[in-house]
Amino acid sequence: MMEVYSQLKFLRFRDRLDAVAEGRVPAPVHVRIKPINRCNHDCWYCAYRNSNLHLGEDMDEKDTIPTPKLFEIADDIVAMGVKAVTFSGGGEPLLHKALPETIDRLAQGGVSVATLTNGVNLKGRVAEALARHATWVRVSIDAWDNESYTASRSARPGDFDRVMDNMRAFKASGTKCVLGVSLIIDQVNHTHVAELAARFKELGADHVKLAGAVTANDAAEHNAYHERFAAETARQIAQAQHLADDRFQVLNHVHRMAESFDKPYHSCPFVRFLTVIGADQTVYLCQDKAYTQSGKLGSIKDRSFKDFWFSDDNKRALEAVDPSVHCRHHCVAHGKNLALVDYMSQDLGHTVFV
């Protein structure tokens, strides 16, 4: 099967590569929109709600992008030539009442759409809009039954079964949308990995992505947490991988966190490919720096996203970012930035010697 999580997707966009090399600010390829910060769950490991994690430390749970503004952003994204939008948290994106219309609006403008979700609201109008238009939907799960699900995320009794039923119904609708499950592994659920993978396959999911819960800002502390049950986790993953076939993938993203967050470069070229709009109507560098002062590029409360993105204000904000100083933390784009910095440092007289 083809790789859906490749780290090299950005290489397909030669026009953006050229713009970055020339110091221009092109339209992003991909925009992550956090439409609402309210959530119907309270996952113990959520970076936006766990006081032990510094991600999103300035997030206000009351923030929501107003419907007219969300439509304006969607229209700007179409006009700018952005290729894709992913809805994510903050909160639970499917709680935003205007999401079905926003999805339709983006899709009609030729923009690919996806969402991350806990799956409880993957039903009704929003599920129908996603079934019509979405490229992928990924549901986050961390438990194996109603009791464990409620304990892990303070969910309503019965929510686990509701999520399972919603995923089954979504795939049974005949949608071409890829349905993935992100299984967040911790010390409580790690003995259920293979069992859950089998269940996801049976209900029609296209893949399960396995990842360890982020438990601390300090990488050594995080790694020590997972090391305690790493052997059984590996055994469970190996068992789950036997389920893989031409219609179901088991994607193992469990790894040790790098214990050094040093960045040997002084700009962030990848922000020209992917940026984030928060529910506070602020544009941020990336998902790792959303709802932080150091990640803030500028507000779009009183101006359009398109106007801001192509403004001198944004260009100055982007040029002021020095990852070696401002990003001494986990960075989802670090490997991509290393590749881009290498790309931009080439001596053009020698590029033919591949």
Q: Residue 281 pLDDT more than 70?
A: yes
Give the C-alpha distances (Å, rounded to integers) separating 285 from 162, 222, 274, 342: 35, 25, 8, 21
Global pTM reads 0.94
pLDDT greater at residue 69 or residue 222: 69
Q: Specify the fold of 29-252.
A: TIM Barrel (3.20.20)
Residues 302-312 pLDDT 10s: 999 999 999 99
pLDDT greater at residue 143 or residue 330: 143
- Written as one string, the DSSP assignment of 260-317 is ------SS-GGGGTEEEE-TTSEEES-GGGTTSGGGEEEE-SSS-HHHHHTSHHHHHH
User: What's the one-letter identity of residue 183?
Assistant: L
Q: Residue 352's pLDDT is what?
A: 84
- Written as one string, the DSSP assignment of 252-267 is E---PPPS------SS
pLDDT greater at residue 55 or residue 266: 266
Q: Where are the domains of the chain?
A: 29-252
Q: If you average pLDDT over residues 313-339, what whole number do you get?
A: 92
Q: Residue 329's pLDDT is what?
A: 85
Rounded to whole angstroms, how far apart are CA atoms 92 and 135? Answer: 19
Q: Residue 45's pLDDT is what?
A: 85
Q: Residue 1 pLDDT more than 80?
A: no
Q: Residue 52's pLDDT is what?
A: 63
Q: Residue 51's pLDDT is what?
A: 61
Confidence of residue 54 (pLDDT cuts 50, 70, 90): low
Q: Residue 266's pLDDT is what?
A: 94
Q: If you average pLDDT over residues 76-84, what whole number do you get?
A: 98
pLDDT, mean over the chain: 94
Q: Residue 53's pLDDT is what?
A: 66
Q: Residue 24's pLDDT is what?
A: 93
Rounded to whole angstroms, how far apart are CA atoms 289 and 267? Answer: 15
CB within 8 A of 25, min separation 6: which ones? Answer: 19, 272, 309, 310, 314, 315, 318
- 7 in Cβ contact with 338 (< 8 Å): no
